[in-house]
Amino acid sequence: MVSDNIDIKYNDKVNKEKYMREALRLAKKAYKLGDVPIGCVIVYEGKIIGRGYNRRNADKNTLSHAELNAIKKASKVIGDWRLDDCEMYVTLEPCQMCAGAIVQSRIKKVYMGAMNPKAGCAGSILNLLQVEKFNHQVETEEGILEEQCSNLLKEFFKDLRNGVFKKE
């Protein structure tokens, strides 16, 4: 019986890391575009149904955040704006706009790689995902592949300061 629990916990960790690795892969696409490398996947019944990465600069659109792009795709796949039984994996703690969209779309749980002490609204500055007066609260878990997520962001901002992404 005890070994079954260990296997479940191990498989749970392996799955969380698998989905976060996919979010990291997407974040690297944003990096190549000169956008802040944030990636996101939405999972329903063990299957990825929505993928997104930050495209704010590429699209010249404030709304082109990884989470919003993934929510749009997942909603299209499900055929509903309600993503009740879905989980989100995102490489960086969501901002206030994305946190609001996560609550509105009724996502069940958000797994975060790195926290965002300057703009995070899922626990760092505010926790908009768990406001009791809202009609929906979202479970959260942080620290999934935290080092890899954090290092990718550090590398990007170093390149940004060094002029790697200069506009021509």
Residue 146, domain CATH: 3.40.140.10
Structural domain includes residue 166: no
Task: Kindly state whether residue 101 falls inside one of the protein's structural domains.
Answer: yes
- Does any domain span residue 47? yes
pLDDT, tens digit (0-9, with 9 covering 90-100), for 68-118: 999 999 999 999 999 999 999 999 999 999 999 999 999 999 999 999 999
Q: Which residues contact 81 (CB under 8 A, 6 or more apart)?
A: 75, 104, 105
Structural domain span for residue 66: 2-157
Which tens digits make up the pLDDT trace of 31-72? 999 999 999 999 999 999 999 999 999 999 999 999 999 999
Q: Of these residues, 67, 141, 142, 155, which one is catalytic?
A: 67
Q: Is 28 within a domain?
A: yes
Per-residue confidence (pLDDT) for residue 12, from 0 to 100: 85
Assess if residue 167 is contained within a domain: no
Q: Give me the number of domains the chain comprises.
A: 1
**Known catalytic membership, residue 67:** yes
Confidence of residue 167 (pLDDT cuts 50, 70, 90): low
| d(C-alpha 112, C-alpha 10), whole Å | 18
Q: Is residue 168 part of a domain?
A: no
Please report which confidence band the pLDDT of residue 13 belongs to, taking 50, 70 and 90 as the band edges. confident
Give a yes or no: residue 10 inside a domain: yes
**In the predicted structure, residue 2 carries a pLDDT above the cut 50:** no
Higher pLDDT, 166 or 65: 65
Tally the residues of the chain: 168
**pTM confidence score:** 0.92
Residue 162 covered by a domain: no
Read off the tokens for 84: 């009740």
110, β-bridge pairs: 88, 140
